[in-house]
Structures are given as C-alpha cells and as structure tokens.
Chains A and B, each alone.
Chain A
Amino acid sequence: MKKYTDSGKKDTRSGFGAGLEELGKKNENVVALCADLTGSLKMDAFKENHPERFFQVGIAEANMISMAAGMTIGGKIPFTGTFANFSTGRVYDQIRQSVAYSGKNVKICASHAGVTLGEDGATHQILEDLGLMKMLPGMTVINTCDYNQTKAATLAIADYDGPVYLRFGRPKVANFTPEDQKFEIGKAVQLTEGTDVTIVATGHLVWEALQAAEQLEEAGISAEVINIHTIKPLDDEAILKSVKKTGCVVTAEEHNYLGGLGESVARVLAENHPTPQEFVATQDTFGESGTPAQLMEKYGLNADAIIKATKKVVKRKL
C-alpha cells in the first residue's frame, strides 16, 4: 500500500492565506473581504501587499456577503473570509439570494470549521455548514485536507466562474499532499489502492483515514482511501468504481452525519449500486470546549473510529 508522510504539520488556513497572497500577485481582479478576523484567516499578507484590494468590513458578515456579490459586478473576484459558522449559518439568506440565486462569482472562504476549532466551544464549531452549502443550487462545496491542498484549491477556485464554498480549519495538521498538485474541482483523489473497503474521507479526516488504512493493512484488511475534496459536485464515478470493487464503504468527515459527505455518498450508492456504508461523523450533536485531539476522540472522528467503522462494514458485506 502506498505510504504518505507528513512533511511537517501546518494549518490549512495558512494554505488559504498563502494561496490568496499568490492570487493577489497573479490576478488583479481578486479582492478580499474580511469580517474582523484577518489574523485568524491568515489574510495579513494579502492585506499588506494589496491594501487597495482588501476590504475590512468589521463584524458585519451579512453586509460582507452581499457586498461581495455586488463587487462581482464590474469583474472583481471577491474572496470573503471569516469562521465557517459566520460564513454560512449566520448569512445563509444573503448567500442564497445575493450569491447563489444571483449566480455571482463569490468565493466564501471559511476557516475554523468543525470541532477542531477547539476550546472556543460549540458556538463557534459549526458541524452543519457542508449541508447548508451543498443544498444551494449552483454552489460548489470544497473541504480541503491539508496545507498544500488548501493552497492549491484557493488558486483553482479563482479560475472557476461561479459561487464556491471553501472550508478549512484551525489546527496544525499533517501536510502530506504534493506541493505542486494540480487541484481539479470535482475530481476525487485516490490515495491508496485496496480491495476490501473504500474509505471516502474529506478535510481533516483524510489523514486519519490514511492512518487507519495502515493499521487495517496490518490486520489484514485492504483499504482504498479516496480523498473527496469536492463534496459538490461529487465525483460519483470515482466512488462507484471503487465501491464496485470493494463492496463496502466508510465515509469520514468532521461534520454532522445528517447533511454531510456521507449522505451524498449514500445517495450515489442508493441510486446506482446499493452498498453497506458506515458513517464516521458527528451524530447530530453540538460540539464543546476541549483540545482538537480530545474532541476528535470524543466525537469519534479519528483513525480509531474509522478502523472500528471499517471492521463493522466489512462484516455487513453480502
């Protein structure tokens, strides 16, 4: 099985910041808006180097989203930055009407998603954002797994004409995807080849899935790990191809099992190739304060949880 190594832990939000800064140099139409979280979103470099294209809106996310929609009129490509909770739930109607329904080329960039936001607790740990965003017609939904991929995704979405939700996180996590990767929206990345189970993971759970696959190999279970960075449009073909071979699937995400990646995969399978599936996700609950590792453990979002789910789903195979 192919092995992956961590080139040094980095936060995904810094990948966003690096990508945004590169875009600032490369594309004069890129503008950035931030709601009083410039440091947290790692937008400082863009702000410093392109002050005329940086818009500090204050703690006013609704205004930020609709303003970004307006800024597209005249050819700008706005990237908005705030926490995932304030990027989605707080401004759902603004995104729905001003951005999605109006078909505006706005990139909603959301950090601190999920429980790994940590100590701030449930008020800030949104676990419903993927569901909210994927339900919007025309919205592209991306959840990247590490620094390199987040940087690549940030660059890629500037070249795509249409609304995008880009979700990333706060903690430093393994950086294991190639620095020079080409990011293709809607295209799954197969990380390992396997025959017994397909593990479809997104975001921080991708590295956990790789750790799980290594341990499963030792236990005699061959896992095919697929990195689904784009939840919508979903790469149905890649999922079906793998599942037809392995006969069962585990989905893994830092999100509620209602409305997340798991449900999207379940729909594809139900329509095309009914298959046993286990969901590694939060079980319709809010988070709480704690360290990211403690929370991943408590809410069943780590390699151990994936291993447990895999052993269960393999037994369910006909």
Chain B
Amino acid sequence: MPNTAQLEDFVTQVRRDILRQVHKVNSGHPGGSLGCAEFFTALYQEVMDYSTDFTMDGKNEDLFFLSNGHISPVFYSVLARSGFFPVEELNTFRLLDSRLQGHPTTHEGLPGVRIASGSLGQGMSAAIGAAETKKLNKDTHLVYSLHGDGELQEGQNWEAIMYAAGNKVDNLISSVDVNGQQIDGSTDNVLPLGKLREKFEAFGWDVLDVKDGNDITQVIEGLKEAKSRTGKGKPVCILLHTVMGNGVDFMMHTHAWHGKAPNDEQLETALAQNPETLGDY
C-alpha cells in the first residue's frame, strides 16, 4: 500500500495529466476532473480490489462505474497510471481514432471502461445491474459508482435510488461529487438539489459524508467506512464534498472551468502549482 505522501504525489501527477489532456485539444472538462482526483486515486490506488488484466465481465473483482462521464480526463489518467493502458496514450485524448473518446466508452475497447457514459443519469442504474449480477453469481465483491451533484437533476437517478433501496442492493457504494457547480452556474442557482443526505436517507440509503473530498486521507477513510457498511441491507451513499477545479487556484470555487480548457499561459500557471511527481507522459 502506498503511503500518504506517495498518494499525494499520485494526485498531483493526475492533476497535471488532466490539465495537459484538455489543453492539448482545447476541449474537455477540467473542473470536475480536478475536484475528483483524490477520489479516483483513493479508489484505484488503495480501496478497490481489481485486476488490470481487464475483462468486461469483471468477475471476482470490484467494479467502478463513472456516471458523469464528462470527467473522463481524471478517469483516463488514473486508469493509465494504475496500469490499464500505457500512460502515453493520454496523448490521444479526444483525437481522431483514439480509444480516449471525449466521454468514456466501451466502443473502442479501452481497458477499464465497462459502459459508455456522458448522457447523464444512467450510471447508477448500470451499477445496480452489475451489483445484482454479482449477487446472482455469488460474487462478494463490490460495485462503486460516481455521480455529479448536478447530475442528480436527471430523474432516472431517483428511479435507481428507489430501486436500490427497495431491493436491498447492499453491495453498491454510490458517491456523489458534491461541488455545488454545474455548467450554467451553482447548483443553487440552476436547480437547487435540496438536502441530499435527507433525500437519500428518505429513500432508504445509508449515507455518509466525506467533509473534505480533496483530502486523500479523508477520502480513503470515507470509502473504507462505506465498505464496512455494505452487506447490511442498504445501498451506501457517500456525499463527497469537493471543490471544482481543486489544485489550481484560478479554477477553484467557480463553474467557469467546468468545460473549458486553459490556454498556454494558464496551463503554465496551473502546472507550476502542481509540479511533476511521477513523470509526465
């Protein structure tokens, strides 16, 4: 197991990867990606039990589903640096003939991706399906998923939330990236989400908060706590409180960088705040 300093180095390198990917093609979604760097690092470097010898069926291993597929830069960086495909392939992000499509897909056969996402609101349902299949297969591994907070405005989520509780899908840990921002502004201004903890609890979920989702130690503790609550008749929800654009001062606390790439100068500033640790691709 890597120590905290090593994990922090990993996170810093992931941030560099995110910034460099979106800068190169002048498109993509750095804000939410940066906010979730710690979460992905914790999942793939510490918490999940998985094989990089990728099979679609993923039997006898933990599975992860990214529902808010637009944060593909963080997903790709962490998958590559966890050994699913060569790190150099991050150079092909959003380019023609790439396996690293704008939004993640199984269509080009990228190892580590088990379903296409991007059109929002579908990932929790897919994760529930995979969790039900694990139960049928008597596979005791867990299914993880990640969702944006703004994404919860999609009604399908609430169908899924109702199903998972009503059917005791207790091998599922769904995390919500609560950064309070979406494309058009703050979630409060666009469409208030209300009290998420109370909503999930009212549906019958076991809910826990990770107060600082950009503190790797807290994220790991939260995920381990969530894991300990599985198998008890309830699906588990983590409200992961993060800052969109975390790690780059001018991208933080705003929706402005949800879907905008930095220019050359901005990239330089952003990278200077995140010095190379594991080596750039």
Contacts and interface: CB of A to CB of B under 8 A. Distances in A.
B134 interface: yes
A57 B128 CA distance: 11
A94 interface: yes
Interface string A59-83: 0101111111111111110100000
A233 interface: no
A97 interface: yes
Interface of B: 56-59, 63, 65, 105-107, 114-119, 121-123, 125-134, 136-137, 139, 155-156, 159-160, 162-163, 166-167
B56 to A, nearest CB: 6
Contacts, number: 120
Given A62-B156, A62-B159, A94-B122, A67 B128 contact: yes
Contact of B159 (A60, A70, A72, A75): A60
Interface of A: 31, 52-53, 55, 57-58, 60, 62-76, 78, 93-94, 96-98, 101-104
Contact of B107 (A58, A67, A70, A103): A103
Contacts of A76: 133, 136
Given A67-B160, A67-B163, 12 more contacts: A31-B133, A63-B128, A63-B156, A64-B125, A70-B127, A70-B132, A73-B56, A73-B58, A73-B129, A74-B58, A74-B130, A97-B118
Rank and list the top 9 A-B pairs by shortest CB-CB distance, nearest first: A70-B129, A66-B125, A70-B126, A74-B133, A60-B159, A63-B159, A67-B129, A71-B129, A70-B130
Given A31-B136, A73-B58, A98 B163 contact: no
The dominant DSSP class at the A interface is helix
A73 B125 CA distance: 13
Contacts of B116: 97-98, 101-102
Given A73-B133, A74-B58, A63 B115 contact: no
Contacts of A104: 115
A67 B136 contact: no
A73 B65 CA distance: 11
A74 B134 contact: yes
16 contacts: A60-B162, A67-B128, A68-B129, A69-B115, A70-B125, A70-B128, A73-B58, A74-B58, A74-B59, A74-B133, A74-B136, A76-B133, A94-B122, A94-B156, A96-B119, A97-B118
A67 B59 contact: no
A71 B133 contact: yes
B136 A53 contact: yes
Nearest to A101: B116
Contacts of B122: 62, 66, 93-94, 97-98
A51 to B, nearest CB: 12
Contacts of B59: 74-75
Contacts of B106: 101-103
Contact of A71 (B56, B63, B130): B130
Nearest to B56: A73
A77 B64 CA distance: 20
B126 A69 contact: yes
A124 B139 CA distance: 40
A10 to B, nearest CB: 32
B165 to A, nearest CB: 12
